[in-house]
Structures are given as structure tokens and as C-alpha cells.
Amino acid sequence: MYNKEQVYFHGKPIGYILYFGNEVTYHTFREYMTFFRMYRGFGISEEVLDYLKKKGVQKVVIHYEGKRENALFIAPLEKFFSGKEYTDTSAGFKDKQRHLSVEEFEKVLTAKKTE
């Protein structure tokens, strides 16, 4: 059996923590518009990373829906803390983020979309 906890950032649901036995993973869903081209990958707010660490999260799973394929990007949470820094201000506040490039993820599982 597993337990699931919704994660919010500034009142917006951004993913969930899945508790399954001794494994604790954070799952977040991204579309092609959220792929960060500057670092060729994905970012997570430092505020969220700190929260996830306090909750005992070990791995991050990004469920990505691209234009031509879907993918799962999997990496240890700790790896994000040494990721590239970026401060986003598009939401009207300073959001310090850490980014990993696609190549820095441990596992990448892809499946082509069918019509």
C-alpha cells in the first residue's frame, strides 16, 4: 500500500510525494512549454527542494509530455541541490531554482506518441 501527499507552491498544486514502503519519491508533471532551454532540462524551486528534503524524499520523477514523445526523467533529490542556479521572476516574485540538464538525470524512459 502507498500514501500520497499533494505538494503546493504559492497555493498552486505542483506535484505529489508518494510514500511506498521505504521509498519516498516526488512526482511532478511537465509539458513541453516548461522545458528550460537555457540549461536543456528542468528546474525545481529551492523552496520546494528544501520542503522535499524535510519530507524524506529520495528521488524526483518528472513526467514529461512533449510534442512527439512522453518521457520520465528520474534523479536523486540531492543531485538538484548542486544543479545550475536560476532566479525566475515571471510570477511576480523571486523564485530561486536549481536545474538539471537532460543528461544529468539517472534514468530517462521515453515512449513515442501515437495518433
User: Which of residues 51 and 34 earns the better pLDDT score?
Assistant: 51
pLDDT confidence bin for 39, thresholds 50/70/90: low
- The pLDDT of 70-88, averaged and rounded, is 92
Helix (H) or strand (E) holding 82: none
Distance CA 113, CA 22 (A): 33
Helix (H) or strand (E) holding 114: none
Helix (H) or strand (E) holding 37: none
Cα atoms found within 13 Å of the Cα of residue 73, Cβ hemisphere only: 24
Q: What pLDDT does residue 100 have?
A: 93
Q: What pLDDT does residue 93 have?
A: 80
- The pLDDT of 34-45, averaged and rounded, is 78
Residue whose C-alpha cell is 540538464: 101
Q: Which residues pair with 31 in a beta bridge?
A: 65
Average pLDDT across the chain, whole number: 89
pLDDT confidence bin for 107, thresholds 50/70/90: confident
pTM for the model stands at 0.86
